[in-house]
Amino acid sequence: MSNCLLEVKDLVTAFTTSKGPLRAVDGVSFQVNSGELIGVVGESGSGKSLTSLSIMGLVPYPGKVVSGEIFFEGQDLLKLEEAEMVKIRGKNIAMIFQDSRVSLDPVCRCGEQIVEAIRTHEKATREEARERALELIGLVGIPNPARCVNAYPHELSGGMCQRIMIAIALSCRPKLLIADEPTTALDVTVQAQILELLDKLRHDFDMSVILITHNLGVVAGVADRIAVMYAGQIMELGDIGEILNHPMHPYTQGLIKSIPKLEVSSKRLYSISGTVPALDKMPSGCRFEQRCPEAMALCATVLPEMCVLSDGQYVCCHKYDTWRSAYE
Ligand code: SF4
């Protein structure tokens, strides 16, 4: 029996502009299994956040999901009315964002914000919800929950605010948590604590997590699998250990080479030259062609297909054209 919780199939999300529709997410497909933590990695503009907003049904205007399917527990979310989606959002699928101080209401006590989240989705009395809020604050590792429950966000550190956001997200025991750059605004030591917490909670709550980050190092220690995104498409997808040890796509290879090492070295830090192409200047062939050290003549004009390298490992690059297409 499949343990697939979420399946995104050939998702296309575009923005309507005077130049016509511009595809910011273009043909993205991946699955998330129950209890799995999948990292979605890529530079700004790679479409990773827009993919998660598409799953949540929160694509900002003038963007919209143009085609594809998003199955959550077998139900296509794209076919639901907004009222049905409201019941799923926050209850079955929750999301946390990068800057918790912006996401939290500055004039509402932290405990009250958790109580609100619980009472939005469940029939709980204020007292019951407050008890749960205290319990959740303890679960996310905040010392002295009784004091924190009455604190305003500005009275807490960035790391504590992110823990409150996680408590709000967990308040209805979601089956899927989408964490969009949850550690980017935090100090390195606090980042590690938040990642450790997410990893622990997904086991405790038997929950799947999509962890979105621009930093490959962030997912290295916690993810089961990763999807490497570039310019709105998935370039490589597979087991984290396999990809970190044997990256097959030139973009993934560049990302791994760009991770700073602690050893003393006279070598300059590696970086991938160039930038992600603008939405209205996407090449007709491989989207990484202008920055790829291994580009061939056909790369400029022919879009590569996703190929299956081995069971569960996929790569989108002409170097592997003799491998089996993932969409056969
Ligand atoms: Fe490089 Fe060509 Fe592969 Fe694109 S398809 S990553 S340009 S080798």
The torsion defined by the Cα of 20, 46, 269 and 184, in degrees rounded to 10, comes to 130
Write out the H or E segment, with its range, that includes residue 169.
helix 158-170
The torsion defined by the Cα of 205, 108, 161 and 213, in degrees rounded to 10, comes to 70
What are residue 153's phi and psi, to 5 degrees?
-50, -40
Which residue out of 248, 276, 292 has the highest number of ligand 1 atoms within 8 Å of its CB and is therefore the one to mutate? 292
Residue whose Cα lies nearest atom 1 of ligand 1: it is 295
Residue 145 Cα to ligand 1 middle (Å): 52
> DSSP assignment, residue 249?
S
Residue 315 Cα to ligand 1 middle (Å): 10
Q: With contact defined as beta carbons under 8 Å apart, do 30 and 225 qualify?
A: no
pLDDT in tens, 130-183: 999 999 999 999 999 999 999 999 999 999 999 999 999 999 899 999 999 998
* Six-digit token string for 162: 């992110």
CA dist 178 and 200 (Å) reads 15
CA dist 28 and 219 (Å) reads 20
- One-letter identity of residue 162: Q
Q: What is the pLDDT of residue 260?
A: 78
Q: pTM of the prediction?
A: 0.93
Domain with CATH 3.40.50.300 in the chain: 4-92+176-284
User: Residue 58 CB: number of other CB atoms within 10 A?
Assistant: 13
- The dihedral built from the CA positions of residue 219, 225, 230 and 233, taken in this order, carries a sign that is negative
- Residue 3 buriedness (CB in 10 A; 0-12 / 13-18 / 19+): exposed
CA dist 287 and 129 (Å) reads 49
CA dist 187 and 288 (Å) reads 32
* Six-digit token string for 198: 């997410």
Pocket of ligand 1 (CB under 6 A): 250, 286, 288-289, 292, 294-296, 299, 304, 317-319
Mean pLDDT in runs of 10 for the chain (328 residues)?
89 94 96 96 93 96 96 96 92 89 92 94 92 94 92 93 94 94 85 91 94 91 96 97 95 91 72 91 95 96 93 92 74
Q: State which ligand 1 atom lies nearest to the alpha carbon of 296.
A: 2
Q: Alpha helices, DSSP H only, in the chain?
A: 48-56, 82-88, 100-103, 110-121, 126-139, 145-148, 158-170, 188-204, 216-220, 240-245, 250-257
Q: What is the pLDDT of residue 328?
A: 62
> DSSP assignment, residue 113?
H
Q: What is the pLDDT of residue 16?
A: 93
Q: How far is CA 167 from CA 111, 134, 207, 311, in A?
A: 10, 10, 14, 36
Residue 109 makes CB contacts below 8 A (sequence gap 6+) with 149, 150, 151, 152
Residue 64 Cα to ligand 1 middle (Å): 29
CA dist 84 and 86 (Å) reads 5
196: helix, strand or coil? helix
- Angle (CA) 299-300-302 rounded to 5° is 60
Q: State which ligand 1 atom lies nearest to the alpha carbon of 318.
A: 5
Residue 233 Cα to ligand 1 middle (Å): 13
In 3D, which of 26, 164, 159 has the Cα closest to residue 108? 164
Q: What is the pLDDT of residue 84?
A: 94
Beta bridge mates, 13? 25, 65
pLDDT in tens, 194-231: 999 999 999 999 999 999 999 898 899 899 999 999 99
Q: Into which CATH architecture does domain 4-92+176-284 fall?
A: 3-Layer(aba) Sandwich (3.40)
How far separated are the first and last CA of the chain, in Å rounded? 23
